[in-house]
Amino acid sequence: MRSILLALVLSLLLNGNVTAEQLSKSPFIPDDVYDQFSQLSKEHKIKFCGFKNYKPKNNIINKDLPPRIYGYNSRMDNDKNVEGIYARDVFRAYSHAINFVMVNENDEIKEILFNKLYIWAKNKALTKTKQCYRNSAKNSILEECEGEWSDPEGQDLAPIKDATVTLEIIMGLNYIYNLNFADYKINDSRHKDINAWFKPFYKRIKRANKFYWGNSAGWYFPNIALRHNSNKKYKSLVKKLVKGADKWILEDGSIRDRTTRGDRALWYHHTGLGEAFMILEIANAAKVKLPKNFEKKLIKAVELFHDSFLDNSKIEPWAKKRHNSQASNRVQKFTLNLDSISFNGSWFHIMQYRYPEHRTSRFLNSHMSNRSQSLKGDEVTGIGMGCVYNALANQ
């Protein structure tokens, strides 16, 4: 009897420790931020999340996710020739719809979207995309997927791009599921099918090791999320992520291997900022202390974006290095319409919330509207971080 009691106590202690490792409701949004957002009125959230007169794009969502994505080249400028590319549109429309539910609390739409996940799970959507990564310490990229950018112009077929986009979509849906549906109708058998669909993809996710920009910060985001969702320890992983990012945000305001991308330098600098601000919030959520000059360098990188957006020549000293890119000739391929950007766009709003008096925050506030695509959803995580931070920045 005594041994049974000891085993029971040990089990309770272990379970208690496991549960305690979930440092926040979401690994991407600190609890204090999420709690403040939850207390805002529905009307305020609808206005500043851009959902006034919004209706879900069911015509796009109901195209459903394809069996696979196939055909990207290294430069990823051949969208029209990529099989299953519409999956990105489906995911974007779906993420906007679920973030609308987060704001509007519409149970009918929530049920429709939950069932849509179930349908995709039953159809094994995207499972036919070629696997290029594995979750192992060595040889994490499969041999048949190596060799991207063998053509200096990036026109070579790159199955690793197909695999990456597929995982971005799947993990985005996974983040959405865990934030919005994990405690929804918990006895519903559809949960089992949805999780069974997600699970094989976890083995396709490259293990987070050496930090780099892109691929959700060198695969740190999905690895952190998987540990978070499994109630496993991950604070040390966040510390490694922050340390890596600190080394890759440089003293001059440039971002390593991003700001040097030729005619796309401003775009890649923007995506670097998107990941850097995500890292800022992941650290805040996990209560990890930032390195001494992290925020100072981050703000300098923001200012470089701001100045280069207004005058492309400002980024030329770095862009002319042409890392995996074409010459810029002092002109950047970057939209003048900030409202149209959703990919890695959450930083526009996190910046305004964290640093409201900064000149770039004021610039963003005056040059972006409530129609901004980055409010409805970020294509990196799917969850409405732009919505949350913009609503709080404008209270």
CA 379, CA 337: separation in Å to the nearest integer? Answer: 17
CA 205, CA 236: separation in Å to the nearest integer? Answer: 19
Q: Residues 6 or more apart from 20 whose CB is under 8 A from it?
A: none
Max alpha carbon distance in the chain (Å)? Answer: 80
Helix (H, G, I), strand (E, B) or coil at 9: helix
pTM for this entry: 0.91
Q: Residues 6 or more apart from 185 whose CB is under 8 A from it?
A: 114, 191
pLDDT of residue 380: 87
pLDDT of residue 387: 98
pLDDT of residue 4: 44
pLDDT of residue 16: 39
CA distances from residue 361 to 231, 343, 355, 367, 393 in whole angstroms, order as listed: 36, 19, 7, 10, 10
CA 130, CA 154: separation in Å to the nearest integer? Answer: 20
pLDDT of residue 98: 97
Instruction: Name residues of the chain where pLDDT drops below 70.
Output: 1-21
Q: Residues 6 or more apart from 158 whose CB is under 8 A from it?
A: 72, 73, 74, 76, 148, 149
Cα-to-chain-centroid distance, residue 175: 9
CA distances from residue 216 to 134, 213, 327 in whole angstroms, order as listed: 16, 7, 26
- What letter does residue 185 receive in the DSSP assignment? S
The two structure tokens encoding residue 244 = 């890596």
pLDDT of residue 356: 98
CA 213, CA 241: separation in Å to the nearest integer? Answer: 11
pLDDT of residue 8: 39
pLDDT of residue 370: 94
Residue type, position 234, single letter: Y
